[in-house]
Amino acid sequence: MQHICGNEVDTKGKYGENLAYDLAKVAFLKQWCYQNPKLNNGKELCDLLIIFDDIMLIWSIKNVKLTDIYYDDVNKPIKTGTPFKIKEKHKDKSKKQLIGAYKEIFERDAIIELPNYGVIDKNKFKKIFLCSVFIGDKEFCSPLLERADGLLIHTVPEEDLNILVHELDTVTDFIDYFKFKESSFKNIVVNGNEGNLLVTYINFKNNTNVNLNNFDQIIVDDNIWEQWKQDTRYQHKKRADKISIIWDELIDRFINDNDLSHPHNQLMLTQLAKPNRFLRRVLASYFSEIISQQPKLLCRCLVSAQLSDVIYLFFNINLDLNHYKISDINPLLLTRASMALYEYPDYSKVIGIVRLENNRCNQYLFALISDIKPLTEEDYIRYRTEYSNYTNTTTNLSKSNIQEYENCNQ
């Protein structure tokens, strides 16, 4: 077998980095992915840095495709029977890069400035994940998670990365799975690829009667990922999730129509991207409903514990039929948002999405509303009368019987 070396390593390494970057953008918007960030001295920090809100993922990406002959560092053939050392060398390099990047940011207080982001503030981050991504032979990569220098490092071969980013294709789904993986580090032994652990995660997440901490050890069988893909629950989810692309398109529309260098727009984009795939399905369903029922249904207010501290307001307004001007929309949105916060005082912010129709084109407006003056009871009662067309369509999603996986607890 031949181990790629010299200038060929640089070419293959860049290919691996670009491939991993493209895969990362499936779950993480490109706005949060920073390739080859640099320290002030010009030294590369890591291969890929992903920042979303208070979460950071540090990636080391290695291309380790092996062919027929092994060579050492001076291009001399290595005797048969010693390739394992070469494999460990790659793993050690990746660990060293990850640990070094972590220490630069969180222990040495290195000043690192990212384009369209600014200087990294280490105190902002509540969770940091270290990922060794290996493009090439899967045999090379094991175990899925290990500890080095007091830090947990996720080992992700190319095949597994493909599975993860396409099955966990929102930032929240991806991060929640990594949190589970780290919390179960001592409890679970995995056979086969990471898809098998992913199925275990899905079963635990959706079965509230089972507590992982009640088990000393769980052994995950090989091939359950292949079996899961044939399961009717998996296939039902894939069909049901198709409508969620409407939410993805709203995110894309916001990105294309707004200046993302503005801090307020960055916050808005973060809030739009937080819903996981299932919640995007639900939100998209209600957004689609309000469009299909126009002009009868003008506004939909959505609240749920799943939405954290966010209330969603969806509007669909035909400017011609409803005799509105665009200048009327902001006062309407602020008033309805203040009413929603009065009705649900445990929530602190409102995301408003307005679809405006006229005989020429459709237009979308986005708003993130918080820190507004609370309504008095008198004002609230008055507004309920004045805006009656917009106040009787509140849905509490916590009472919904919609399931992510059909008959998951059976």
Domain co-membership, 246 together with 358: yes
User: Which tops the pLDDT comparison, 154 or 140?
Assistant: 154
- The reported pLDDT for the residue numbered 297 is 57
Q: Higher confidence at residue 138 or residue 3? A: 138
pLDDT, tens digit, 9 for 90 and up, residues 326-351? 788 889 899 999 999 999 998 999 99
The mean pLDDT value for 294-303 works out to: 75
Looking at 166, 198, 233, which one is the last position of a domain?
A: 166
Peptide bond preceding 83 in cis form (omega within 30 of 0):
no
pLDDT tens column, 212-261: 667 777 788 888 999 999 999 999 999 999 999 999 999 999 999 999 88
Question: What is the model's pLDDT at position 13?
Answer: 53
Tokens coding 322: 């409803």
What mean pLDDT comes out for the span 276-297?
Answer: 85
Averaged pLDDT of the chain: 83
Residue 399: pLDDT band by 50, 70, 90 thresholds? low
Does 248 share its domain with 391?
yes
Q: Residue 212 falls within a domain, yes or no?
A: no
Q: Is residue 365 domain-resident? A: yes
As for how many domains the chain has, the answer is: 2
Question: 269 and 369: one domain?
Answer: yes
Do 162 and 247 share a structural domain?
no
In the structure, what pLDDT confidence band is assigned to residue 141 with cuts at 50, 70 and 90? very low
CB 133, CB 59: distance < 8 Å: yes
Instruction: Among 147, 166, 185, identify where a domain stops.
Output: 166
Give the pLDDT confidence score for residue 296 in this predicted structure: 59
Band of pLDDT at residue 91, cut at 50, 70 and 90: confident
How big is the CA angle at 133 (ends 33 and 245), to the nearest 5 degrees? 50
- Residue 76 has a pLDDT of 52
Domain CATH code at residue 24: 3.40.91
Confidence of residue 65 (pLDDT cuts 50, 70, 90): low
Distance CA 116, CA 81 (A): 49
Q: Quick check: is 334 in a domain? A: yes
| 274 and 145 within one domain | no
Same domain (yes/no): 37, 143: yes
Query: Is the pLDDT confidence value at 72 over 60?
Result: no
Lowest mean pLDDT among 205-209, 281-285, 356-360, 361-365: 205-209
Lowest-pLDDT range of 43-57, 75-89, 269-283, 319-333: 75-89
Q: Are residues 382 and 256 in the same domain?
A: yes
Q: Are residues 264 and 393 in the same domain?
A: yes
Which range has the worst mean pLDDT, 114-123, 207-216, 367-376? 207-216
Q: Identify which has the larger pLDDT, 82 or 90.
A: 90
- How does pLDDT run across 166-218, given as a tens digit for each residue? 999 999 999 999 999 998 877 777 887 889 999 989 988 877 666 666 777 77
- Which of residues 166, 194, 221 is at a domain's end? 166
Residue 316 lies in a domain: yes
Read off the pLDDT of each residue in 360-367 and give the average, rounded to a whole number. Answer: 86
The predicted pLDDT at position 145 comes to 87
Clarify whether residues 162 and 246 are in a common domain.
no
Q: Is the pLDDT of residue 124 over 70?
A: yes
Q: Look up the domain containing 19 and give its range.
A: 7-166
**What average pLDDT score do residues 45-68 get?**
85
pLDDT at 410: 43
* pLDDT higher than threshold 50 for residue 41: yes
253 assigned to some structural domain? yes
Rounded to an integer, the average pLDDT of 93-104 is 96
Determine the average pLDDT of the residues in 156-170: 90
| Helix intervals (H) in 309-409 | 329-343, 377-386
Considering the chain, what percentage of its residues have pLDDT values greater than 90? 49
The answer to the question of residue 230 being in a domain is no
User: Quick one: 285 and 384 in the same domain?
Assistant: yes
Position 139 scores a pLDDT of 56
Same domain flag for 157 and 254:
no
Give a yes or no: residue 199 inside a domain. no
- Does some domain include residue 376? yes
Largest CA distance in the chain: 86
Same domain, 117 and 258: no
Inter-residue contact 38 to 64 (CB < 8 Å): no
**DSSP result, 19-63:** HHHHHHHHHS-GGGEEES-B-TTS-B--SEEEEETTEEEEEEEEE
What is the average pLDDT across 9-37? 75
- Burial readout 361-381 (b: 16 or more C-beta within 10 A, e: otherwise): eeeebbbbbeeeeebeeeeee
